[in-house]
Amino acid sequence: MNNPWVYNAVADRLGGARFEQHLGYKFEQIKRAKRDFLLQHPQIKLLDFGIGEPLDVPPNTVVQTLQATCGQLEYNGYADNGADFFKESIQRYMQKTLEVSLNKSEILPILGIKSGLTLLAGTLINPGDWIAYTTPGYGVFATQTRYFGGKTYALPLTHERQFLPDLDAIPEAIKRKIKILSLNYPNNPTGSVATSAFYEHVVEMALRYHWIIIQDAAYTALSFEKPLSILQIPHAKECCIELHSMSKGFNMTGWRLGWLCGNSTLIKACSTYKNNCDSGQFLAIQKAACMGLDNTDTWLPQLRQKYQQRLNHLADILQKNHFHFYSPQAGFFLYVTAPKSISSKVDGSAIYFKTAEEFSQWLLNKLGIVVVPWDDCGAYVRFSVTFKSSDETTYFSELQKRLSQFIF
């Protein structure tokens, strides 16, 4: 057991002396709940629809490139702010896939999206600075903003607006305070995508109010239709930074690699800050990533199709059981309205839920089904189809069997 003075040493941004009472990160809570369920019910197969990352391995050519280069001396030095060969591959990929032309001064390789958002907060946020961010969503940038003494303004995403924020509804006084607008499209958890018209409005407002735009584009490679980048919009490079990832569309989750691109001044500033935070990703991993970026046509369409088929199968089952959901346009998530009550088909007994959190706990503890709750803008749960299973048909059949015991 630690002495009290050890707790007092923890920074206030993490809760200070009350640090352990602040350990509320949603996904850590879910991991603990899953472990508890497996200990208490070892005979029941857990149906895990809460996994937020791909569980497949990268394409063979990516793995083979890493194997061929990891032992070579030229790939074992410090990577610093990224290898030219990786930046050149990014240039080719962005031009081919998104019709965005970049020079190397507009690109910064990063250790994944989480690291990139953290670097941007350290580069841009002064105490008292305001950001606006969309919710529900990936909360890293908003959390980091608070760590650095900034202030946050939440923009709710609702189905009435196709999960696009209403920028015009921001009070004028707040618009003038905002320094950064943080977006995420294709969106996690809703699976919605932005439109050109929306991005045009974003850029217009950014230039009018002097906002910096941070657009988390981690799921772009998994767009079911033609993908869109905010950097396609005229004048976007004057105020925008976009983040891309090798995790979601390239199955390189644990390899920790991605990139920032956009405004060259912001890229240079972030590079300066990054020099004091990390020494870059292993050069052999960057070399392997080039193989993925340069050969997307050989395997990415099949990956998208796999996720689409799984999402369609999941949607069919949820529809049979009277759930209401929103069809995604990218990614591997299904955003589902959490039921307010359920009743047993056996004895008619009913259970009522005030929140998505309550429903998700019941779903796990009663049926062994894991989902992620979102109570930010109403009660919703997120189903993910990245589960690892050698027999998808059996996995979905078991889901139907468990859900069919109740009326939702």
Query: Which has the closest alpha carbon to 145: 118, 115, 112, 170?
Result: 118
Mean predicted lDDT score pLDDT of the chain: 94
What would the pLDDT profile of 12-58 be if each residue is shown by its tens digit?
A: 888 888 777 665 566 677 878 888 888 888 888 999 999 888 989 99
3-state DSSP: the chain helix, strand, coil percent, rounded to 5? 45, 15, 35
Report the distance separating Cα 332 and Cα 222, nearest Å.
8
Report the distance separating Cα 375 and Cα 355, nearest Å.
7
What would the pLDDT profile of 185-228 be if each residue is shown by its tens digit?
A: 999 999 999 999 999 999 999 999 999 999 999 999 999 999 99
Name all domains of the chain by residue range, CATH numbers in brackets. 4-56+300-407 (3.90.1150.10), 77-295 (3.40.640.10)
Report the distance separating Cα 304 and Cα 68, nearest Å.
28
H-type alpha helices, 41-112 = 60-69, 84-98
pLDDT average, residue stretch 141-161: 97
Report the distance separating Cα 349 and Cα 343, nearest Å.
5
Query: Which has the closest alpha carbon to 370: 361, 358, 379?
Result: 361
The confidence score (pLDDT) of residue 22 equals 61
Strand 341-344 to 107-110 pairing: unpaired
94, 261 contact by CB (below 8 A)? yes
pLDDT average, residue stretch 288-294: 98
Rg (the chain; Cα; Å) = 22
